[in-house]
Amino acid sequence: MATFSKRNYKWCVQIRKSNHPNISKTFTHKKDAQQWANEIERKIDQGLILELSHPDYETLSQILERYKNEITISKRGGHIEAYRLAKIMRDPIAEIKLSQLSAMHIADYRDRRLKEVSACSVVKEMTLISLSLDIARKEWGVPLRSNVVRDVKKPKPERGRDRRLSSEEHTLLLRSCSKSSNHWLTPLIIIAIETGMRRGELLSLAWEDVDLDLRVAHLDMTKNGSSRNVPLSSEAINLLRSLPHDISGNVFPLTAAALRGLWNRACRRAGITDLHFHDLRHEATSRFFEKGLNVMEVATITGHKDLRMLQRYTHLRAEDLAKKLG
């Protein structure tokens, strides 16, 4: 029996028959979905489809592609997940047939990626593969006997980064950014350090959400699923007042990919190594504590719901603490 459902403006048809694996496919038009369902049901009734296989999915890449188009697209921050999926799909593991995919393949992928990226990134990639296989098996009718990713040990993520920006690096970084052909980079970095906002929050910030008189930037949707108001320092206010307004309505009209390239080039010009853009959030949060703000005040600014997460943001400079001790 065929069932039809609409998701993200597309029609998904799933065919369930006793003694046969569930089969599903997505169409733009319901009429095409009905015609395909009728044809598949006819072939099953005539005994033309006997093998435990799926007509549309042979490789892991095909599963990941559908997951990206149907699941990732509806997520907040989906562009980051789509970028990660694209990385996986360029790896040889993506072309392995689903019928042959084993825990050994996943373990080999894990070990190879650990030589290229951090353990945290590898865990995220393995989790994505696992989620894709689960959705394929449970919702798309792909006849997978099990989720092989669950049989492979995930690497232990490294201890949270506590990279701080030294005064010299701060100067070198801003000087390097001023040489960039993109005039949005310098103010973006300054606002990042002044507010502690995440990259995605900065790139999605619209002028209509900034109240320069109240000195507040309103974030309607954040990583943890709730909105928050970010107080703006005097330096942040003065900088924002000086910025031109782009036709897009965004304060910083940049894409994540463009910012990644600009950031990497700026760090190279400055001779700064091992500095991630997200480290600016750590730097900002540490500075809030150094200014004397308490944990609740800092959490209000940064949006941390779990106050324990702030423990790794309080790696204050020993020399600064020594001055306070007298």
Confidence check: pLDDT of 28 > 60: yes
Is there a single domain that holds both residue 172 and residue 313? yes
Confidence check: pLDDT of 268 > 90: yes
Using the 3D structure, point to which of 158, 184, 205 is the last residue of a domain. Answer: 158
Give the DSSP letter of residue 213: T
Catalytic residue among 137, 198, 199, 228: 198
Q: Which residues contact 79 (CB under 8 A, 6 or more apart)?
A: 256
The reply to whether the predicted model has a pTM over 0.85 is no
Count: domains in the chain: 3
Is there a single domain that holds both residue 26 and residue 138? no
Answer yes or no: 109 catalytic: no
- The model's pLDDT over 285-310, given as tens digits with 9 standing for 90+, comes to 989 988 888 888 888 888 877 766 67
Is there a single domain that holds both residue 201 and residue 219? yes
CA 39, CA 51: separation in Å to the nearest integer? Answer: 17
Provide the CATH number for the domain around residue 96. 1.10.150.130
Is there a single domain that holds both residue 181 and residue 321? yes
Catalytic residue among 75, 223, 245, 305: 223
Answer yes or no: 315 catalytic: no
Answer yes or no: 105 catalytic: no
Is there a single domain that holds both residue 37 and residue 63? no
Give the DSSP letter of residue 182: -
Is there a single domain that holds both residue 131 and residue 232? no
- Residue 97 belongs to what domain range? 57-158
Per-residue exposure over 223-246, b if at least 16 CB sit within 10 Å of its own CB, e if not: eeeeebbbebeeebeebbeebeee
CA 48, CA 46: separation in Å to the nearest integer? Answer: 6
Is there a single domain that holds both residue 232 and residue 250? yes
Answer yes or no: 9 catalytic: no
Q: Note the pLDDT of residue 29.
A: 86
Using the 3D structure, point to which of 158, 176, 200 is the last residue of a domain. Answer: 158
Catalytic residue among 6, 278, 291, 317: 278
Q: How confident is the model at residue 211 (pLDDT cuts 50, 70, 90)?
A: very high
Q: What are the E-state strand segments in the chain? A: 2-7, 10-15, 23-27, 210-211, 216-219, 228-231
267: burial class by Cβ within 10 Å (0-12, 13-18, 19+)? buried
Is there a single domain that holds both residue 96 and residue 45? no
Residues composing the chain: 326
Answer yes or no: 218 catalytic: no
- Among candidates 193, 186, 303, 194, which has minimal Cα distance to 252? 186
Provide the CATH number for the domain around residue 310. 1.10.443.10
Is there a single domain that holds both residue 283 and residue 186? yes
Q: Note the pLDDT of residue 241.
A: 95
Catalytic residue among 25, 113, 281, 282: 281
Catalytic residue among 260, 304, 312, 315: 304
State the sign of the Cα–Cα–Cα–Cα dihedral 234, 236, 237, 241: positive
- Among candidates 160, 268, 253, 269, which has minimal Cα distance to 206? 253
Answer yes or no: 223 catalytic: yes
115: Cα within 13 Å, side-chain hemisphere: 5
Using the 3D structure, point to which of 125, 158, 191 is the last residue of a domain. Answer: 158
Q: Residue 247: helix, strand or coil by DSSP? A: coil
Is there a single domain that holds both residue 227 and residue 122? no
Per-residue exposure over 88-97, b if at least 16 CB sit within 10 Å of its own CB, e if not: bbeeebbebe
Range of lowest pLDDT (47-51, 84-88, 213-217, 311-315):
47-51
Q: Residue 59: helix, strand or coil by DSSP? A: strand
Is there a single domain that holds both residue 124 and residue 153? yes
Catalytic residue among 57, 67, 109, 313: 313
Q: Note the pLDDT of residue 50.
A: 41
Token pair, residue 49, equals: 């489809």
Is there a single domain that holds both residue 45 and residue 129? no
- The model's pLDDT over 118-157, given as tens digits with 9 standing for 90+, comes to 888 899 999 999 999 999 888 888 877 788 999 999 998 7
- HEC per residue, 194-208: HHCCCHHHHHHCEHH
